[in-house]
Structure 1
Amino acid sequence: MNITEQLAVTAQSQPEKTAYVFEDKQTSYMELERSVQKFASSLTGMGLKKGDHIALVVGNSPYYVIGLYGALRLGAVVIPINPLYMANEMNYILNDGDVKAVITMDVLLEKFAAIHEQLPGVRNYISCDSGAGSSSLEDHILGPKLHSFTDLVQAGSPGWNPAEWKDDETAIILYTSGTTGKPKGAMLTHRNIYSNAKDVADYLAINGEDRVIAALPMFHVFCLTVALNAPLMNGGTVLILPKFSPSEVFRIAKDHQATVFAGVPTMYNYLLQSGESQGEFANIRLCISGGAAMPVSLLEAFEETFDVQISEGYGLSEASPVTCFNPLDRPRKAGSIGQSILNVENKVVDEFGEELPIGEVGELAVTGPNVMKGYYNLPDETASALKDGWLYTGDMARMDEEGYFYIVDRKKELILVGGYNVYPREVEEVLYAHPNVSEAAVIGVPHPEAGEAVMAFVVSDDSSVTADELAGYCRQHLIGYKVPSEIEFLDELPKNTTGKILRKNLRDQVKQ
């Protein structure tokens, strides 16, 4: 079984059930299934076949859902790409990923027009109508390579029969942002994608009555699995937001009786700071947080304000992505990413791969049907990440006596101050607990004597707060070598499109 077969099964059993809502328009499972089937059949008419790589450069919309499931129905390999990437960033992924066709929005065509001569492998561009009044496709520089997404869906055959493929064949290649070097393409199989969506849905009890808000970007694996594939797995409804907006999240939650919201910590911070009434979330039974560690003070403040439980979890692209969640049948543990989900095993190991005793900090390793088959065309990097059936995550963690895991920090983010380990998250937790700090990020900077020193970047809604005051506050809660030697105030912290704070950008800023 794979996710497109599951969609067909649901469409047969519940044809009139709403699969998704976009711009307040409802689309049934059978309508979605027919569009997916017809789009897949039209792809074959363009000469595309099983195993070809298709880039999906589309924001949150029905185009993304139909494009993803349609390409997978064909047996193609989908490569989701952030639509906000610059032309040179897309150029690298399209060439490295051996892409044969690109599905994108009409407003992005000029990006591809600028680099199309550097993309000899791309034979087809499929344009999605944004309604922005763009010029005719016939007059475009991409010429005969250019096709209309809408026309392809309309012209396709609903009776087309897809090719068969095996569970261990690659379905999706996710290019990881990484902290250094070029992005790497994590190859996820049909089994990886299906198993993680099913296990997440079952673990979080996402069912046909749930209406899940998809405000995270769908090109990111967190949204792809938790807010799209998981609800579609069990006949739920996806409430698609083109982009995150606190007011729109509250509106759609109220108007469509949303029951589940998934977001990253910065989203929860924006929602908390928005000042909206907690009544907007009256029907929400569960909030899911991932993508980065949530400060405990933020988690507790949000739960108290909106009277809703947040289940914090953990995942990474290479694991499709989820490996842990706080269980729902008992009180969650603040600061913990929870326990291993169904069919997945996590452990904490030392530098030799030996499992560490309870409470000791080491690298988190994971195994299960969700773990990637490797990095595309990178055998050495694959061998480094996958050892004896275990994926080494690069995250430092510890486990308590009840099997709950706690992320301490990224292995590469560790700060060494005079030989002592400082984990940025520990310092950030203290800063977040200060009543006038709304955001904080901590990095290591060179120090002539100690090797490294702790530097903090803070966003505050009170202009009277000083660096000395915050440093004094830290000294009340941290040993001396963990206290930031420098604190800089910013209007906002740099973030990626999922809202994750980018410490790398802050380090680059210090180097300039």
Structure 2
Amino acid sequence: MVIHSFLRGGRMNLVSKLGETAQSKPDRTAYIFGEQTETYGGLQQKIDCFAEGLREIGVEKGDHVALLLGNTPHFVIAFYGALKAGAVVIPINPAYTPTEIGYMLTNGDAKVIVALGQLLPLYEKVHESLPKVSCVVLCETGEPLREPESTEVKMKLKSFTNIMKPPVRPFPEIDAEDTAAILYTSGTTGRPKGAMLTHQNLFSNANDTARYLTMNESDLVVAALPMFHVFCLTVCMNAPLMNGAAILIVPKFSPAEVFKLIKKHQATIFSGVPTMYNYLYQYEGADETGFRSIRICISGGAAMPVALLKSFEERFGVLVLEGYGLSEASPVTCFNPFSTGRKPGSIGTNILNVKNKVVNEIGEELPAGQVGELIVKGPNVMKGYYNMPEETAHTIKDGWLYTGDLAKRDEDGYFYIVDRKKDMIIVGGYNVYPREIEEVLYLHPEIAEAVVIGVPDPNTGEAVQCYVVPKNKTLTEDDVLSHCKKHLAKYKRPAAIVFMDEIPKNSTGKILRRALKDILTNQS
């Protein structure tokens, strides 16, 4: 029994648009996961049953449902099922520590948790500090769930399969401005903040991104990025499902698995962060014919070194389009146009219905070529941070979202991220942008990865320090410094080179500069 849900005023949302496709093309493939293929009709039925199951365990419109799930069909069903029940979804990285997860569950006022079965021991450790959580729905992942020791925990546990119930009454009406999801920022500058995204935010961004990338029903989109992250959520899940395309769900990123699955299923769109492209490029077993079915590669999450972009394209015969986004904007604001060409190193132009501009410190728009803060306006911009009115007022001014990223625009309307405002290094009064130095480092044939931070210096205020992962152990500090001398002005050159086996990254592959600074602090 399919019971549709529409936005007031007849405007579409994620749930109703998927329901429309399920009704008109029930036999079209919605996702592939391992040996399992699910149709839109089958997916819709599961979503409806999960939504009804949530209502039976006490979820009402506006309640918060946290998802601690990896890349499995459970995530798709639970995300859309919770929305259909009128709930607010809080996706959380299941690999976070108990302290990090506990903070988000508490700060986000989660009433129900939907989690991987293997996270039961974690919940047992923290359940006493989560009095607002009334139920934990555990997903079966092949291993039988063990009996919890605590009676209190046992009473709160439900099985994902067992709560599924056919719907018996209409689902709540959804308003465009109702909060659909709370996405916690990565916390690279302090405690994570929960960005409240409305149904209008998520639907408009998924739809506009898909149209901008010419996503269509014949596409098979690889979801190798973590689904709990906004990049994958919009570009690899919501956008395809809003356009009748199929998703190839990859449980965990590995170069070998990505090459194998793309070739096996003839996928057409791949999305990743720069480090994923670097791993694919560096992989010794790379199949250079493996990407022949791919018509678009999408890169986001961080700036992609131009040298890597060009090398990847030449080796695998694909087009890599860079874009830009942030959790607070659902997330996409810019993309290199698929139809009219791209510019390497650029994040592209405004996507449909979204405006970006570069401003000075008093909010005045700067002319082409000048560096300032990138600000964004559109139907994708969040309504604010959950329970943080002061942070919201600081970030959203006159409808514009202040991103904290330094950027510039060229005469053709293409934007370029120069660096994070907080990452800029000031050497003797001169502004030094880490990305510029990183681009130079990636030009060196013996450097696999590189990241640059500022460190205190008694003479210049700050100095440039580089962290480098070499391709072989013969690379020396003198080699790197000599290379930089050819390409960089004196004040931009590194004061020190630190060789590492691996650079710290978060779950999406984004390099953690803050972790490097913490290492430096602990060593001093």
Structure 1-normalised TM-score?
0.98
- Once residues 28 and 149 of structure 2 are traced to their aligned partners in structure 1, the CA distance between those partners, rounded to angstroms, is 38
Question: Within 5 Å, which residues of 2 pair with 1:108-119?
Answer: 108-119=119-130
Query: Of residues 215, 218, 224 in structure 1, which corresponds to 2:227?
Result: 218
Q: Deviations over 1:152-210 (max 9, x none)?
A: 12xx1144421002000100000101322211000000000000000000000111000
What is the identity, as a one-letter code, of the residue corresponding to 1:214?
A: A
Pairwise CA distance, 1:8: 0.5
* Number of the residue aligned with 1:417: 427
Q: Quick check: 1:176–1:185 contact (8 Å CA) kept in 2? A: yes
* Number of the residue aligned with 1:261: 270
Does residue 89 (structure 1) correspond to residue 100 (structure 2)? The answer is yes
After TM superposition, the runs of 4+ consecutive aligned structure 1 residues lying more than 4 A away are: 137-141
* Number of the residue aligned with 1:466: 476
- Once residues 187 and 98 of structure 2 are traced to their aligned partners in structure 1, the CA distance between those partners, rounded to angstroms, is 19
Q: Quick check: 1:38–1:160 contact (8 Å CA) kept in 2? A: no
Q: Quick check: 1:34–1:158 contact (8 Å CA) kept in 2? A: no
* Number of the residue aligned with 1:327: 337
Structure-2 change in CA distance of 1:148 and 1:254 (3 Å):
same
Structure 2: where are the runs of 5+ without partners?
A: 1-11
* Number of the residue aligned with 2:57: 46
Does residue 17 (structure 1) correspond to residue 17 (structure 2)? The answer is no
Q: Which secondary structure state, in structure 2, belongs to the residue aligned with residue 342 of structure 1?
A: coil
Pairwise CA distance, 1:469: 1.0
Pairwise CA distance, 1:112: 1.0
What's the Cα RMSD here?
1.1
- Once residues 160 and 492 of structure 1 are traced to their aligned partners in structure 2, the CA distance between those partners, rounded to angstroms, is 54
Q: Deviations over 1:438-462 (max 9, x none)?
A: 1000000000110000000000112
Pairwise CA distance, 1:377: 0.6
State the identity as a percent: 58
* Number of the residue aligned with 1:107: 118
Q: Which secondary structure state, in structure 1, belongs to the residue aligned with residue 111 of structure 2?
A: strand
* Number of the residue aligned with 1:311: 321
Query: Of residues 432, 439, 464 in structure 1, which corresponds to 2:442?
Result: 432
- Once residues 7 and 302 of structure 1 are traced to their aligned partners in structure 2, the CA distance between those partners, rounded to angstroms, is 35
Question: Within 5 Å, which residues of 2 pair with 1:357-506?
Answer: 357-506=367-516
What is the identity, as a one-letter code, of the residue corresponding to 2:304?
A: M
Pairwise CA distance, 1:45: 0.8
Q: Quick check: 2:110–2:133 contact (8 Å CA) kept in 1? A: yes
Q: Quick check: 1:37–1:160 contact (8 Å CA) kept in 2? A: no
- Once residues 152 and 50 of structure 1 are traced to their aligned partners in structure 2, the CA distance between those partners, rounded to angstroms, is 18
- Once residues 113 and 429 of structure 1 are traced to their aligned partners in structure 2, the CA distance between those partners, rounded to angstroms, is 46
Q: Quick check: 2:188–2:512 contact (8 Å CA) kept in 1? A: no
Does residue 244 (structure 1) correspond to residue 218 (structure 2)? The answer is no
Structure-2 change in CA distance of 1:44 and 1:311 (3 Å):
same
Q: Quick check: 1:169–1:190 contact (8 Å CA) kept in 2? A: yes
* Number of the residue aligned with 1:228: 237
Q: Which secondary structure state, in structure 2, belongs to the residue aligned with residue 358 of structure 1?
A: coil
Query: Of residues 112, 121, 146 in structure 1, which corresponds to 2:157?
Result: 146
Does residue 341 (structure 1) correspond to residue 348 (structure 2)? The answer is no
What is the identity, as a one-letter code, of the residue corresponding to 1:371?
A: V
Pairwise CA distance, 1:24: 2.5
Query: Of residues 195, 199, 213 in structure 2, which corresponds to 1:204?
Result: 213
Pairwise CA distance, 1:137: 6.3
- Once residues 369 and 163 of structure 1 are traced to their aligned partners in structure 2, the CA distance between those partners, rounded to angstroms, is 23
Q: Deviations over 1:8-55 (max 9, x none)?
A: 000001100010001121000010000000110111111110000010
Q: Quick check: 1:428–1:441 contact (8 Å CA) kept in 2? A: yes
Q: Which secondary structure state, in structure 2, belongs to the residue aligned with residue 280 of structure 1?
A: coil
- Once residues 150 and 139 of structure 2 are traced to their aligned partners in structure 1, the CA distance between those partners, rounded to angstroms, is 16
* Number of the residue aligned with 2:8: none
* Number of the residue aligned with 1:58: 69
Aligned residues: 510
- Once residues 181 and 264 of structure 1 are traced to their aligned partners in structure 2, the CA distance between those partners, rounded to angstroms, is 22
Structure-2 change in CA distance of 1:142 and 1:54 (3 Å):
same
Q: Quick check: 2:177–2:200 contact (8 Å CA) kept in 1? A: yes
Q: Deviations over 1:213-271 (max 9, x none)?
A: 00000000000000000000100000001110111111110111100000000000011
Question: Within 5 Å, which residues of 2 pair with 1:269-308?
Answer: 269-275=278-284, 276-308=286-318
Does residue 356 (structure 1) correspond to residue 366 (structure 2)? The answer is yes
- Once residues 425 and 100 of structure 1 are traced to their aligned partners in structure 2, the CA distance between those partners, rounded to angstroms, is 42
Structure-2 change in CA distance of 1:128 and 1:445 (3 Å):
same
Q: Which secondary structure state, in structure 2, belongs to the residue aligned with residue 366 of structure 1?
A: strand
Q: Which secondary structure state, in structure 1, belongs to the residue aligned with residue 290 of structure 2?
A: helix
- Once residues 195 and 441 of structure 1 are traced to their aligned partners in structure 2, the CA distance between those partners, rounded to angstroms, is 34
Q: Quick check: 1:113–1:141 contact (8 Å CA) kept in 2? A: no
Instruction: Say which is worse superposed, 328-337 or 368-377, in terms of deviation.
Output: 328-337
- Once residues 472 and 175 of structure 1 are traced to their aligned partners in structure 2, the CA distance between those partners, rounded to angstroms, is 42
Q: Quick check: 1:102–1:124 contact (8 Å CA) kept in 2? A: yes
Q: Deviations over 1:320-339 (max 9, x none)?
A: 00000000113310000000
Q: Quick check: 1:137–1:146 contact (8 Å CA) kept in 2? A: no
- Once residues 24 and 310 of structure 1 are traced to their aligned partners in structure 2, the CA distance between those partners, rounded to angstroms, is 29
Q: Quick check: 1:288–1:310 contact (8 Å CA) kept in 2? A: yes
Q: Quick check: 2:64–2:88 contact (8 Å CA) kept in 1? A: yes
Q: Deviations over 1:270-321 (max 9, x none)?
A: 1111131221111100000000000000000000001100010000000000
Q: Quick check: 2:147–2:154 contact (8 Å CA) kept in 1? A: no
Pairwise CA distance, 1:135: 1.1
* Number of the residue aligned with 1:173: 182
Q: Quick check: 1:286–1:310 contact (8 Å CA) kept in 2? A: yes
Q: Which secondary structure state, in structure 2, belongs to the residue aligned with residue 281 of structure 1?
A: coil
Query: Of residues 26, 30, 33 in structure 1, which corresponds to 2:44?
Result: 33
Pairwise CA distance, 1:139: 7.6
What is the identity, as a one-letter code, of the residue corresponding to 2:270?
A: F
Q: Which secondary structure state, in structure 2, belongs to the residue aligned with residue 271 of structure 1?
A: helix
Pairwise CA distance, 1:141: 5.7
* Number of the residue aligned with 1:128: 139
Q: Quick check: 1:200–1:341 contact (8 Å CA) kept in 2? A: yes
- Once residues 119 and 416 of structure 1 are traced to their aligned partners in structure 2, the CA distance between those partners, rounded to angstroms, is 44
Q: Which secondary structure state, in structure 2, belongs to the residue aligned with residue 144 of structure 1?
A: helix
Q: Which secondary structure state, in structure 2, belongs to the residue aligned with residue 67 of structure 1?
A: helix
- Once residues 435 and 229 of structure 1 are traced to their aligned partners in structure 2, the CA distance between those partners, rounded to angstroms, is 38
Structure 1: where are the runs of 5+ without partners?
A: none
Structure 2-normalised TM-score?
0.96
